[in-house]
Chain A
Amino acid sequence: MLNNITLGQYFPVDSPVHRLDPRTKILLTVALMVAIFVCKGFAGFGAIFLFILLCVRLAKLKLRFVLRGIKPIAVIVLLTFVLNLFLQSGGRVLWHWWIITITVDGLRTAVFMAIRLLMLVMGTQLLTLTTSPIALTDGLESLFKPLSKIGFPAHELAMMMSIALRFIPTLIDETNKITQAQKARGADFESGNLIRRAKAMLPLLVPLFVSAFRRADELAMAMEARCYRGGSGRTKMKPLKYKKRDLCAVGAYLAVLGAVLVLNIFKIGVL
């Protein structure tokens, strides 16, 4: 059941997208989010979706793999859709019953919001699927470095983040193992009402926390044994450098942003 989470799981292949500088990818991911929020119509979403498809293709990812990451947020998307559908009013009434009214505007907004959410997840997934946690940390650290002058703990935060990312698959594995072990002792995680089910999680959560703390302790010890002392004066084996392909990626993004803006201005496919 927990195998479906690809968030934070790196997909290791060699591709032009994988080889991009992590800083470029992080900034472009943020920029892509901006584009998704700026976008006012379905035609613009089409352009963004094409861009995402292109990235998926170039990154040698299977679309199915990217789509799978949507599953965990399916509920949120559905909720957004339903709320917008019923609460937004205006335009022609499509359906009316008791206090529920569905209007054309409501339907449009609902679809629009759902697509926006899906785009956001797919776009951000691209980053974590094509960038190894180590590269991601390097990128973040380098981006936040200027802020360390005013006391912002760039290195520490980046390190914490990479450790967290690194341990997601480990903890999922661990959860699976403990679940199996407790099932072998007759534990039942599936039936009963909500309170019973929450109680049934205890045999899973206690060992999981214990092992997470143990792992944290061991990791800290191992880091100290290797003389870890934070970021100051630390050099890199592979310093980050912008290359030509980063320029190409930024160019491609600007083209999409341009398309979105033009479509917005000329109100093509805009709500």
Chain B
Amino acid sequence: MPISVKDLTYTYNPGTPFETRALDGISLTINDGEFVGIIGHTGSGKSTFIQHLNALIKPTSGQVLVDGEDINESKEKAALRMRVGLVFQYPEYQLFEETVLKDVSFGPKNMGLSEEEATQSAKWALEKVGLGERYYGRSPFELSGGQKRRCAVAGVLAMHPEVLILDEPAAGLDPVGRREILDIIRAIHSEGTTVIMVSHSMDDVARLCERVIVLEKGKVALDGSCAEVFGQVEKLSAMGLTLPQAALLRDRLNKRGFDLPESIYTIEALSQALTEKLKTR
């Protein structure tokens, strides 16, 4: 189920003094099974962009095609939103039910599944995020920060989306919670789900994503594999973005006379290249 965006433009508060163009002529395609990272400065249009992908926002102009079909023309918006699952930033603020199990089955129930099927789906999703049976009956408000986050992600997973979009899934979590949630996302992707992840953390993007899209003032500034994008040091720093730690170190070493390839952006690749360099010296 590829997602194609054509010349997408979106303007907030048109015709008022607060008019701002959040997206400006974005065109790109996201293919099945990809793991795409979207990075960009605050206000670059990342969150606005992803909300277009499941028709939560109607574009000012341009098209969003899911499976070749313009989603803003379609009447089945709710059905689409289940196929393209969107996990918002701080999704734990959407929890509302009395128990974890009930909250997670909210999505499947909206899909029109029976009580039993919905519960089945919810249990499956909760297992995916590592919340076992003893959490089913608890109030979602009693959970810890990281558990709440996982519970909310399960709420979207329970609808079995083919594409999963996450806005800053690890924001505001402690290191353990961070690692847990990122591991879950990685596992979901490895089972064949297309994942699109918005993140401020270059390291998370470098570790997980295959493709990186950089947004700048509502436009696509860079789009390519991690190696391609994180090689463009000057361009990224001109946009006020940093590099992953390993790429940063690679860049500094190169400035001191090391001749390491620009395509290095992970700690593993860097340590390997560096060892080889030092051996031959």
Contact B16 A65 (CB under 8 A): yes
Q: Which residue of A lies closest to B82 (CB)?
A: A186
Which residues of chain B have C-beta atoms less than 8 A from A65's C-beta?
Answer: 16
Query: Which of B83-91, B126-134, B194-202, B244-252 is the interface stretch?
Result: B83-91
Q: Which residue of B lies closest to A65 (CB)?
A: B16
Give the CA-CA distance A65 to B13 in the complex, in Å: 12
Count of residues in A whose CB is under 8 Å from the partner chain: 23
Count of residues in B whose CB is under 8 Å from the partner chain: 27
Contact B78 A186 (CB under 8 A): yes
A185 within 8 A of B: yes
B49 within 8 A of A: no
Q: When the two chains form the complex, which single residue of B88, B156, B159 contacts A180, counting CB atoms closer than 8 Å?
A: B88
Which residues of chain B have C-beta atoms less than 8 A from A181's C-beta?
Answer: 88, 91, 93-94
Q: Which residue of A lies closest to B109 (CB)?
A: A186
Contact A185 B93 (CB under 8 A): no
* A-B pair number, CB within 8 angstroms: 61
* Min distance, Cβ A132 to any Cβ of chain B, angstroms: 16
Which residues of chain B have C-beta atoms less than 8 A from A211's C-beta?
Answer: 93
- CB proximity to A under 8 Å, residues B101-156: 106-107, 110-111, 141, 155-156
Contact B82 A182 (CB under 8 A): no
Query: Which B residues lie at the A interface, using CB under 8 A?
Result: 13, 16-17, 51, 54, 56, 78, 81-82, 85-88, 91, 93-97, 106-107, 110-111, 141, 155-156, 159
Query: Which A residues lie at the B interface, using CB under 8 A?
Result: 3, 11, 62, 65, 174, 177-178, 180-188, 202-203, 205-207, 210-211
Other A-B pairs beyond A177-B93, A182-B94, 15, CB < 8 Å: A65-B16, A174-B93, A180-B56, A181-B93, A183-B81, A184-B54, A184-B88, A186-B110, A186-B111, A188-B110, A202-B96, A203-B96, A207-B94, A210-B93, A210-B96
